[in-house]
Structure 1
């Protein structure tokens, strides 16, 4: 009955230190008894201090300004015998021990006498409870202290100096301090023994036996495939500076019936990076010059003719066919077909050349011989080459 009456008084359950429900058997809110013969016990200090506000004239609050307190505690059953200077409960607010504290701590003397004689836990001991500041909240029994014992939480320490139950009222002398006592190192009963007189044993006198008993078999009669030692010792030949002996394989897997000399037209003048102009062949219908990396513009192009950004001079000869990067509005980077890293960037999109057989260029090219549209033709990959995917060779019938 007293447990349910406590709920009507806005009290919550009393739990153990680890949060077990109904784990605090020192008060009426820690256990639910189904029988009518309820043991005689009262509520714990956390309930009587803030929720019920009982014994308000015998309560003590330790504020932040006073980090030290020492006095006597009496039980709730002997409240009427309590004199001035003795208290029933001590409260340590959350702001006393830490600015970020979440709990209030309560210290009380659980005197097992009169209407509290039925307490089932911590009788005649000093109890330490904690609970959230907000009401109603569950309380937690943190520690039960006998005479001479201490309990430290956060930066506070509760030490029980003495407990007297032979007097009336019974008194428990408690000291609360801010500092945590330093741990006492245990003293060894016997001194440490002397070092061992026997030295460390040396190496083994005998030699290590042979791990293998059988000899390794001779070399195999079949020669080893791949590179030999003689070929590996030979120095690597320097790259040739002459014309390329063979062309890159066409993506259509057909041999190209042309030579590197056919890549350059007889009408091309090679006098310098900006002086020579590449003229179109007579068989082509258009008469405007092809766009060369050295000349990324022409009179029919929409690109401005005022400026062209060349990072390095361009070599038009076949001695060094690799082109240096050229930047303009239409073509950001380009290199020769002999370079496997050849690619084009047209209007922000990456387009690969037909020599590598990857992504196709967007512009359409028409062959008069096959009368088909081919997109795998790049007229700007190397000077004036015009490869038809149908003929698999340099074709002069491609219409630009």
Structure 2
């Protein structure tokens, strides 16, 4: 499909191409009659995507050869905006009276205005909205006796959203709400919507975080099928799972994370060799052993892309049954990992390495604060508590300083100003 799209685009972008009707296009591209319905379907899709244009005379061509630009609209709090072209060309300035109902983030088509001598930037007007970006919007609710309106939180979304009285959904003046757009804005007319969720009073604990979660469409809860799949995973390493893996459970290693971290995804080990080099081990939780390609867990993780961290909470990429349990390198329990064992010399060069699947058992769950106090504050209580690892921490610091100096010599910039 993508290859056929590119062939059509290449054909239409040719300097000699003139807009053609469907029948003419099929002949020029030598498309057999039996394949023409598929060609029509593909052209319709490309028109919907805005990569080609169909004129009123039913002729097809690319936007740039018709004085049009397809791209993403970027609003501005002062009422004007820009179209960021898909082609990577210079942005197009859109004055406020030529936005014609577009909202920040929409995919649009803009018609270029004739350039005026001395004008530095391209200017135009939006003539078509290909795809609306904002199905729901988070903002502050206000009301009068007969109607209400929501002022969006996002500074690039200008213009209040009108809310008919029947669609207040119990919202009170000043509350943060989620509004679903029911009528898109037009020139000289605001968008219309209905309140689908009341987040709470502005300034109330947790409302600010939920506003961000809803505004950016962050997936907050896991579907039942994902939860069920996560719960079906064993909560400990089975004997047969350790087969064909290198056993590193004898190796001293620790995790080092923040005090509140629950998903501990990497551990470290270190040894000073007789030749003066360091044997550094980095051990990463083997999540792929439990999250199989194409599974519900895999599909959900693909949609989320990453865990999201807020000051008061974390929204994990995987359910806590995995992220905080079998896929977390918790101390004193067996875990499956990918290990990288590196030999690093006194100049910070890796002179040898191995990468392999392993089974590990972390000795201690350390925090940045505790390790700092051991190394920089000589904390006697912590040094006694973690006496089996104090020498390792010293080796880690020594190697870290070597690597930092190597980076400095290579031109690294240090933004840690005192």
**Shorter-chain TM-score: which interval?**
under 0.3
Structure having the higher strand fraction is 2
Larger radius of gyration: 1
TM-score by length of 2: 0.14
Q: TM-score under structure 1 normalisation?
A: 0.14
